[in-house]
Amino acid sequence: MSMIVLQDIIYILLLIGLSIPLGIYIYKVMSGEKVFLTRIFAPVENGIYKIMGVKSNEEMGAKKYALSALAFSGVGLFFVWLLQLLQGILPFNPARIQSASWHLAFNTAASFVSNTNWQAYSGENGLSCLTQFLGLTVQNFVSAATGIAVLFALIRGFVFRKKTTIGNFWTDLTKITLYVLIPISFVLALVLVSQGVVQTFSPYKEVTMLESGAAQTIPLGPAASQIAIKQLGTNGGGFFGANSAFPLENATPLSNLLECLSLLLIPCALCVSFGKAVKDSKQGKSIYITMMILFVVALGITTISEQYTGPAFDGVVASGSMEGKEVIHGVGASSLWATATTAASNGSVNSMHDSFTPLGGMIPMFLMQLGEIVFGGVGSGLYGMLAFVLLTVFIAGLMVGRTPEYLGKKVEPYDMKMVCLIILTPLMFTLLGTAAAVSMPDITSWLTNSGAHGFSEILYAFSSMGNNNGSAFAGFTANTVFTNVVGGIIMLLVRFIPMVAAISLAGNMAKKKSVAVSEGTLSTTNTMFVGLLIGVILIVGALSFLPALALGPIADYFTMR
Amino acid sequence: MTKTMKILRPAVMCFLAMTVVCGIIYTAAVTGIAQLLFPNQANGSIITITLKDGTQKDYGSALIAQKFTGAQYMIGRPMGTTNLSPVSKEQKKLVQERIDWLHSLDPDNTADIPMDLVTKSGSGVDPNITPEAAEYQVARIARERGMNEDDVRAIISKYTTGRFLGIFGEPAVNVLKVNLALDGLL
């Protein structure tokens, strides 16, 4: 256990240490300052603007910004859907994979466009190489970039005074992709290959097994390039079915460390960028601290549960629960990943969450249900958290009878409506989806486990899709018409309703004049505020999900022995 | 119509540009450099062995487990995945079957079995076992092969990897490499 604690502490220190310079770098990129990559990428950037026919300095209002984001995602949705329907007759298909069914293709397209990466298909058996790199890898980049773009639109809303615009979606998207996502992914992908993560267009390799002499097929593909952005962009969709538990996707303790760091790196860095952008680093710091506190508590509970509440078998050495975990990761690195991947809306896994102990599996589920705001998705996590900040400011304002304000902007009824849309949409669809699924007549045949754990499989699935996470209790049979269609629609709604609400909020905030800070202004940077914010987040999450959790993991825990 | 086109045209063009940059150029660049710098790893860490007659044979990937059942071989983790709750009755039954099988392979060994030998991994093809699980099997392998136990241990330790920087991950023994070495192939 002491090794696990040490590993966790050093992981967190590395994460914080890397996030600060990266956050400053992202701020510079987004505010148009020159960075060391400007020389290389500026011509490409300008070329892309030319192709698009947009002027990089043209500012957009909220409506145009939102429509652009929606149109761009819509084009992506259609393309990825079509690509899967046609993959059987298209090139770069060494494993001769068939075209996908319409509903599975829709689910997968919705999943990757919404930065969820829920996978109802099985990685290496469901999609051709072409679909993976031309469809999914691209969405891994651009869905992440879309989230970050919207975050910066919202930040501009707080910063701008009496303006009708909030930036330009196309330049935001292009800058993030070119200057942030591609360079880091490129370096990460190559380091991963050095560890044994595959990167090739060769067909699957046939080998002869040592003892039996029988043939074994080693699945290959351009995996590392996709895995790098899958981790960095809080996407999470594995190249292979077993995701980063699969050794050819995550080969060594070093590759695991790097993949696990890149899970949270950009969401952490964005807290720093936020502080820089609003010219008050303390604002970013208080949000960063809030997220980190929730993360550390969650990590502690998951790890302790996996280490100490696992099963005991006669004649077997008592140790942490190892079902569904790889030897090189053990309980420590598996629990760390499970917590990080659900705190961020990543959803990649290096162990099977379905085989976690009841409470060890509940924490990842609850982190998703909180709305993916403990770091959360790149961009979307922070704009979700800012909605909670506004809610907290609003509640505190009601208590003292003052008009609430945040960053010098008054928070008014329209703003609170948008905040409610951001906060309530995911949790509503999570519960509705779960309820619809349990009322399906043949639901039990979709489950691997029975009883309370079976219900947990359903609740986890819709918590995952309903919050754009993408991880699964993989015993749940996801590839059914019902889950594909309903889940696909839910993933789109919970991604784009809050996104449009955040952009509208930005537009409304940008129009306002700034009010001077007075003695009566609630500080949003002190310890008390962090405590209030944590309280509001936990109350909203607990009120919404405690009944469902009681029927799933909590019942599972109390009935286990 | 023109208003729609004003939004849609950049959306389509931007999407195409991003597909070329992120889908094609990025993927091709990573593949090219990876193949140049790390050809073995990029292609699946295949273990190719030149046999005595000069022919080459691919014995598997160092990262993908193979099933071993003979008492003279080091046994790896059970293959496949279950997604079962670790505290379920179904799991208990399966684990008991695995315990019984390991006991039938080596009836004299009454030591407690390390957890990883009776549980399935997440990938279903975990190529490693813990050093404890390897040590548990040393006496049996040595006896079956007429080898010295310390020689078996030497092979195991040769194919054991530690934590990264002594901190991250867990020590592990690569089952396929040990068995190839036991057979004198590696």
The letter for the amino acid at A310 is G
A222·B62 Cβ contact <8 A: no
B87·A247 Cβ contact <8 A: no
pLDDT at A561: 60
Query: Which of B43, B95, B130 lies at the smallest CB-CB distance from A198?
Result: B43
- Count Cβ atoms below 10 Å from residue A396 Cβ, excluding itself: 18
Q: Which value does ipTM take for this structure? A: 0.96
Q: Which of A498, A117, A132, A129 is nearest to A344 (CA)?
A: A117
pLDDT at B85: 93
In this structure, are residues A116 and A465 in contact, taking their beta carbons and an 8 Å threshold? yes
Distance from CA of B40 to the nearest CA of A (A): 8
| Residue B10: closest C-alpha in chain A | A52
Answer yes or no: do B91 and B167 share one domain. yes
Q: How many domains, chain A?
A: 1
- B177 located within any domain: yes
Confidence of residue A92 (pLDDT cuts 50, 70, 90): confident
- A189 located within any domain: no
- A424 located within any domain: yes
Answer yes or no: do B65 and B135 share one domain. yes
Question: SS3 for A480?
Answer: coil
Query: Which of A52, A142, A320 lies at the smallest CB-CB distance from B10?
Result: A52
A200·B31 Cβ contact <8 A: yes
Answer yes or no: do B10 and B96 share one domain. no
Q: Any bridge partners for residue B56, and if so which?
A: B50
- A513 located within any domain: yes
The tokens describing B24, both together, are: 């094609």
Alpha-carbon distance of A505 to A418, in angstroms, equals 6
Across A170-285, the runs of DSSP E, i.e. the strands, are: 205-208, 215-218
- A448 located within any domain: yes
Query: Which of B9, B60, B83 lies at the smallest CB-CB distance from A352?
Result: B83
Alpha-carbon distance of A261 to A290, in angstroms, equals 19
- B52 located within any domain: no
- Count Cβ atoms below 10 Å from residue B54 Cβ, excluding itself: 6
- A432 located within any domain: yes
Answer yes or no: do B37 and B91 share one domain. no
B67·A332 Cβ contact <8 A: no
- The rounded Cα A183 to chain-centroid distance in angstroms is 20
Structure confidence by residue, pLDDT tens digits, A253-281: 999 999 999 999 999 999 999 999 999 99
pLDDT at B1: 57
| Mean pLDDT (whole number) for A203-224 | 94
Distance from CA of A168 to the nearest CA of B (A): 12
Q: A2: which chain B residues are within 8 Å (Cβ-Cβ)?
A: none
- B12 located within any domain: yes
pLDDT higher than threshold 90 for residue B184: yes
- A538 located within any domain: yes
Alpha-helical (H) ranges within chain B are: 2-18, 26-37, 39-42, 89-105, 131-145, 149-158, 175-182
Residue A309 zone, left/alpha/beta (φ > 0; ψ -120 to 50; rest): alpha
Return all residues near A291 (Cβ < 8 A) that are at least 6 apart.
Answer: A268, A271, A343, A373, A374, A375, A385
Q: How many domains, chain B?
A: 2
A242·B123 Cβ contact <8 A: yes
Q: B81: which chain A residues are within 8 Å (Cβ-Cβ)?
A: 242, 324, 352, 474
pLDDT higher than threshold 60 for residue A539: yes
Q: Which domain holds residue A401?
A: 378-558
Answer yes or no: do B98 and B169 share one domain. yes
Structure confidence by residue, pLDDT tens digits, A338-365: 999 999 999 999 999 999 999 999 999 9
Q: Which of A179, A176, A112 is nearest to A149 (CA)?
A: A176
A445 close to B (CB below 8 A): no
- B34 located within any domain: yes
Return all residues near A544 (Cβ < 8 A) that are at least 6 apart.
Answer: A369, A427, A431
A315·B11 Cβ contact <8 A: no
The letter for the amino acid at A100 is A
Q: Which of B156, B173, B18 is nearest to A328 (CA)?
A: B173
| Residue A474: closest C-alpha in chain B | B83
Q: How far is CA A460 from CA A122, A291, A368, A426, A470, in A?
A: 18, 22, 9, 13, 10
A357·B29 Cβ contact <8 A: no
Answer yes or no: do B78 and B161 share one domain. yes
Q: B180: which chain A residues are within 8 Å (Cβ-Cβ)?
A: 210
Q: What is the mean pLDDT of chain B?
A: 95
Query: Taking a contact as any Cβ pair under 8 Å apart, which residues of chain A between 2 and 31 contact chain B?
Result: 3, 6-7, 10-11
Q: B67: which chain A residues are within 8 Å (Cβ-Cβ)?
A: 209, 211-212
Q: Which of A448, A471, A236 is nearest to A364 (CA)?
A: A471
Query: Which of A7, A327, A449 lies at the smallest CB-CB distance from B88?
Result: A449
- B54 located within any domain: no
Answer yes or no: do B107 and B177 share one domain. yes
Answer yes or no: do B75 and B135 share one domain. yes
- A441 located within any domain: yes
The letter for the amino acid at A17 is G
- B51 located within any domain: no
> Residue holding tokens 């300095």?
A57
Per this entry, what is the length of chain B?
A: 186
B169·A357 Cβ contact <8 A: no
> Residue holding tokens 């962090």?
A530
- A530 located within any domain: yes
Structure confidence by residue, pLDDT tens digits, A520-532: 788 999 999 999 9
B29·A186 Cβ contact <8 A: yes
Answer yes or no: do B99 and B149 share one domain. yes
Alpha-carbon distance of A115 to A377, in angstroms, equals 8
Alpha-carbon distance of A508 to A409, in angstroms, equals 10
pLDDT at A67: 96
Structure confidence by residue, pLDDT tens digits, B6-37: 889 999 999 999 999 999 999 999 999 999 99
Distance from CA of A507 to the nearest CA of B (A): 18
Answer yes or no: do B8 and B90 share one domain. no
Q: Any bridge partners for residue B129, and if so which?
A: B173
- The rounded Cα A452 to chain-centroid distance in angstroms is 27
A313·B95 Cβ contact <8 A: yes
Answer yes or no: do B91 and B15 share one domain. no
Q: Which of A323, A2, A219, A434 is nearest to B163 (CA)?
A: A2
Q: Which domain holds residue B14?
A: 2-41
Confidence of residue A238 (pLDDT cuts 50, 70, 90): confident
pLDDT higher than threshold 90 for residue A7: yes
pLDDT higher than threshold 70 for residue B43: yes
Question: SS3 for A351?
Answer: strand
pTM: 0.95
What one-character DSSP code corresponds to residue A431?
H
In this structure, are residues A132 and A221 in contact, taking their beta carbons and an 8 Å threshold? yes
Answer yes or no: do B89 and B149 share one domain. yes
